[in-house]
Amino acid sequence: MDELTTHLLAAILRARSKKVNLMELTRELNVSMDQLQTQIHALQHAGFIFDSDAIYTRLVRQPDTLHPALLRAHLMKDKCFTHIHYYPSIDSTNSAAEDLVNQGAPTPMVVLAGQQTGGRGRLGRSWYSNDPGNLYVSFAFTPNLPPHQMEKFTLWQGMAICAVLNEAFDLPIKVKWPNDLIAGGKKIAGMLSEARVDAGYTRIVVFGLGLNVNSQINDWPHELQRTASSLAQTTGYWLDIHAIASAVIRATIDAYESFIAGAFARHFTRRWDLYDALRGQVVTVGAHDGHYTGRAIGIEPDGALLVETENGVQRTFKAGDVTLHKVYQDNS
């Protein structure tokens, strides 16, 4: 009945705030009224609230956490058709996505979880992902490109997510090189791309995103409260996690397709200028050979960070941890 639930919710979404005529919907979906009413009752038990009578229904309130049928309904309404796998709780969406591809599941593929027990970030670090009000999602793709052509993939995806959150939801999100999204100087998302290379080609790439949507910082570990935030904390109001998730999924799949087609190269620099959180800022980069402080002045064609250090020397960094400074003493 999952498919029927999705079609029912998609019809409700299309109607916006108006009531849906259930009799018309039974004819459209070729089901009985009892079947529709059964689905409505099941959704009520899952936290949905409806304004209904014998013939009409209208959605009054939806759950604050991801409901897979409602997410699929959003994607169906927006004509985004992809393979969705949802788990209430899982160790890591990235690991699950890779396992599913290895088992022969088709790509592009999307794996979502209400919670992660073993979420991870760059360099094997853990990613706090216990709050079901956030978005924990991974995408699996099979690009079959040489690894050097994938160097800017994570940055390109980050900019695509910034663009949709800025344009569709008026959220001031930018990319903090190499793999964070920030708002108001605080981290609201982390990205992690993991690739399997075989015979000189990237056969599988899994792109993971942990986006803090409606979580409240008082519920987080103390060490995160100073540096991290959420979309709700940034805006001051609750956001529709299903609309956010649907928009992010569409944007990420579209960004992958433009990346593979090579079209991204024409737009990369202009988009980076729009969403670069570091340009002109003073940063300290922790690299393999030490720490360097200077002003970020952009990125190189291969995606490496370009920094002008305090003594006027320009350095590039292909990897490293970046700390933003609030004050810069210009010695020039």
CATH number at residue 96: 3.30.930.10
- State the DSSP string of 295-312: EEEEE-TTS-EEEEETTS
Residue 311 inside a domain? The answer is yes
- In this structure, of 130-134, 232-236, 328-332, the range with the lowest mean pLDDT score is 328-332
- State the DSSP string of 108-140: SEEEEEEEESS-B-GGG-B-----TTSEEEEEE
The Cα–Cα gap between 176 and 164 comes to 17
The whole-chain average pLDDT of the chain stands at 90
How confident is the model at residue 265, as a pLDDT? 83
Is residue 57 located within the same domain as residue 143?
no
Residue 68 inside a domain? The answer is no
Is residue 289 located within the same domain as residue 271?
no
Residue 32 inside a domain? The answer is yes
How confident is the model at residue 43, as a pLDDT? 96
CATH number at residue 29: 1.10.10
Instruction: Please say whether the beta carbons of 293 and 286 come within 8 A.
Output: no
> Distances from the Cα of 79 to the Cαs of 76, 117, 162, 164, in angstroms?
5, 32, 21, 16
Q: Is the pLDDT of residue 104 over 50?
A: yes
pTM assigned to the model: 0.91
How confident is the model at residue 328, as a pLDDT? 39
Is residue 91 located within the same domain as residue 25?
no
Residue 69 inside a domain? The answer is no
Render the burial of 164-178: b for 16+ CB within 10 Å, e for the rest.
bbeeeeebebbbbbb
Output the six-digit token pair for 275: 């969403």
The Cα–Cα gap between 218 and 233 comes to 11
Dihedrals φ, ψ of 305, to 5°? -75, 135
Is residue 127 located within the same domain as residue 217?
yes
| 228 DSSP assignment | B
3-state DSSP percent of the chain in helix, strand and coil, to 5:
35, 30, 35
Among residues 275, 295, 314, which one ends one of the domains? 275
How confident is the model at residue 288, as a pLDDT? 85
2-14 and 22-29 helices cross at what angle (nearest 10)?
130
Percent of the chain surpassing pLDDT 90: 71
Is residue 202 located within the same domain as residue 316?
no
Residue 310 domain boundaries:
282-324
Is residue 17 located within the same domain as residue 108?
no
Is residue 198 located within the same domain as residue 223?
yes
Is residue 139 located within the same domain as residue 243?
yes
Unique residue bearing structure tokens 């088992």: 103
Dihedrals φ, ψ of 166, to 5°? -70, -50
Tens of pLDDT along 162-185? 999 999 999 989 999 999 999 988
Residue 307 inside a domain? The answer is yes
Is residue 92 located within the same domain as residue 130?
yes
Residue 67 inside a domain? The answer is no
Tens of pLDDT along 121-168? 554 555 556 677 899 999 999 999 999 999 999 999 999 999 999 999
User: How many distinct structural domains can be found in the chain?
Assistant: 3
Residue 27 inside a domain? The answer is yes
Is residue 151 located within the same domain as residue 179?
yes
Residue 202 inside a domain? The answer is yes
CATH number at residue 297: 2.30.30.100
SS3 state at 88: strand
Is residue 26 located within the same domain as residue 91?
no
Q: Is the pLDDT of residue 119 over 80?
A: no
Is residue 199 located within the same domain as residue 51?
no
Q: Is the pLDDT of residue 38 over 70?
A: yes
SS3 state at 64: coil
Q: What number of residues does the chain have?
A: 332
The secondary element (H helix, E strand) that includes residue 195 is strand 186-198
